[in-house]
Amino acid sequence: MLTLNQTHNPNSKSWLASANEANTDFPIQNLPFSVFRRKNSRELFRAGVAIGDQIIDLKQLGQTILFSKDITDILATCSGESLNAFMSMGRSSWSALRLALFNALKAGAAEESDMRDCLVAQKNAEYKVAAHIGDYTDFYTSIHHATNIGRLFRPENPLLPNYQWIPIAYHGRSSSIVISGENFRRPHGQIKHPDKEHPTIEPSKRIDYELEVGIFIGKGNALGDAIPLDNAEEHIFGLCLLNDWSARDIQAWEYQPLGPFLSKNFASVISPWIVTLEALAPYRTEWDRSSEDPQPIPYLESPLNREQGSIDMQLEVLIETDQHRQSELPPERLCASNFNHAYWTMAQMVTHHTVNGCNLRSGDFLGSGTMSGDTAGSEGALIEMTQGGKKPIQLTTGEQRTFLEDGDKIIMRGRCEKEGYPTIGFGELSSTLLPAK
């Protein structure tokens, strides 16, 4: 796994004042990647890196003579409309570009004037999904979420026997993964009401969010080659936020025997910024498995994974209803959770995904599954929080929610904090539920 280096120096400051503000998601120690263009322009999308309230235009930067040939060659892979080529270069190239940008952004850097010419204000930008996602696999890695859901359907035996032995996942639909800010209509689907003899086709009445972390694969593996656990993170480029929207009434009818289908593939929304694993190195924590639980079998077990397999990443979900907007009230928090609630680590997900020889490719995307904790208020989905719609939650506007209403906007945020280090964030993910067609 990655070790700390000069790019993590908590005392480093940037010549860009907004990168040094206490509340920024994007200090010089972060430097996440996206694909963007100026709003309302006909520009081609291109790669960018966030610093403070600005974006470094990597295509424009690559046309300067600020860097060595090696760095210029790396920048050339960032001139297209996706990050796939850059992701495929591997960790040494990712780290080399990060270091070059860090040094050019530091206070006192000789490159300041030329770098300023390559800045675009984030408020003036629009984004697209940063990589072409060939395949999408959604895991189920919070045991608290799995148990809460299981209790709704199997009160006597909520956790299925394979859960504590195998990272459970299903393959989702990559074509409906969209960027934050894109809204979607309430989906239609086949629903079987308990008091009806036959199912009907109608708009879903049980739309739910799912608080997840997205994982972008960087360098792939050849078909037939498994990725060992201690090498797995070399294949992970970085993380983002993921809202895997769900239609619970469609899901309840269709999921047996093969799992989610139309209840999940109508929209999944991700945040624009991908935070690299290198930026997250200071916030790594140990991963543990209770002695009362089955311990991982050998291919999913290692001292290194135990030592620093988890990430202390705080997560939250907020809601903004029409009533919030009409009353000029701020969004209110529904949930606060943490990525370290994952029962399986990122490395275990990648290793298990490839143990049968499955080939991952640059830009492939993994979802963590809903990140729920073990306390009230840490549930990462409404179906848990309301116990399947039986216990509505009360909002400060006087409204109640069991599931989402038309016009509800869901906002997700993620931040990593550690004493002695700057806070780094993931930006904001938001999307609004519109009425059915």
Helices 91-105 and 69-76 pack at an angle, to 10 degrees, of 110
Q: Do both 115 and 235 map to the same domain?
A: no
Residue 307 is which amino acid?
E
Which residue, of 100, 128, 156, is where some domain finishes? Answer: 128
CA dist 255 to 31, 165, 195, 208, 358, Å? Answer: 40, 22, 19, 16, 24
Q: Do both 365 and 324 map to the same domain?
A: yes
Catalytic-role residue among 144, 145, 352, 353: 145
Whether 1 maps to a domain, the answer reads no
pLDDT band for 222, please (50, 70, 90 cuts).
Answer: very high
Q: CA-CA distance, 168 to 123, in Å (whole number)?
A: 39
Whether 191 maps to a domain, the answer reads yes
Question: What is the predicted pLDDT for the residue at 433?
Answer: 98
What average pLDDT does this structure show over 417-429? 97
Buried b / exposed e along 65-76 (16+ C-beta atoms within 10 A): ebbeeebbebbe
Question: What is the predicted pLDDT for the residue at 176?
Answer: 97
pLDDT tens-digit readout, 314-368: 999 999 999 999 999 999 999 999 999 999 999 999 999 999 999 999 999 999 9
Among 264, 260, 314, 256, smallest CA distance to 285 is for 314
Which residue, of 128, 151, 175, is where some domain finishes? Answer: 128
Angle at 117 between CA 116 and CA 121, to 5 degrees: 70
Whether 270 maps to a domain, the answer reads yes
Q: Is 187 left (phi over 0), alpha (psi -120 to 50) or beta?
A: beta
Q: Do both 28 and 143 map to the same domain?
A: no
Question: What is the predicted pLDDT for the residue at 100?
Answer: 98
Which residue, of 128, 149, 174, is where some domain finishes? Answer: 128
Number of domains comprising the chain: 2
145 included as an active-site residue: yes
Q: Do both 241 and 358 map to the same domain?
A: yes
Q: Do both 102 and 213 map to the same domain?
A: no
Question: What is the predicted pLDDT for the residue at 5?
Answer: 96
Q: Do both 115 and 143 map to the same domain?
A: no
Does 1 have pLDDT greater than 80? Answer: no
Does 235 have pLDDT greater than 80? Answer: yes
Question: What is the predicted pLDDT for the residue at 157?
Answer: 85
For the chain, percent of residues with pLDDT exceeding 70:
100
Q: Do both 74 and 187 map to the same domain?
A: no
Q: Do both 177 and 77 map to the same domain?
A: no
CATH number at residue 370: 3.90.850.10
Whether 321 maps to a domain, the answer reads yes
Question: What is the predicted pLDDT for the residue at 172?
Answer: 94
Whether 337 maps to a domain, the answer reads yes
Whether 172 maps to a domain, the answer reads yes
For the chain, percent of residues with pLDDT exceeding 90:
95
What average pLDDT does this structure show over 381-389? 96
pLDDT band for 256, please (50, 70, 90 cuts).
Answer: confident
Q: Do both 170 and 319 map to the same domain?
A: yes
What average pLDDT does this structure show over 305-311? 97
Q: Do both 172 and 294 map to the same domain?
A: yes
Question: What is the predicted pLDDT for the residue at 325?
Answer: 97
Q: Do both 63 and 148 map to the same domain?
A: no
Q: Please, what is the average pLDDT of the chain?
A: 96
Q: Do both 221 and 237 map to the same domain?
A: yes
What average pLDDT does this structure show over 247-265? 93
Whether 424 maps to a domain, the answer reads yes
What average pLDDT does this structure show over 395-400? 97
What average pLDDT does this structure show over 399-426? 97
Q: CA-CA distance, 330 to 262, in Å (whole number)?
A: 33
Cβ-contact 284, 246 below 8 angstroms: no
CATH number at residue 114: 2.30.30.230
List residues bridging with 335 in a β-sheet.
317
* Residue 50 structural domain: 6-128
Q: CA-CA distance, 13 to 18, in Å (whole number)?
A: 10
What average pLDDT does this structure show over 257-284? 96
pLDDT tens-digit readout, 36-57: 999 999 999 999 999 999 999 9
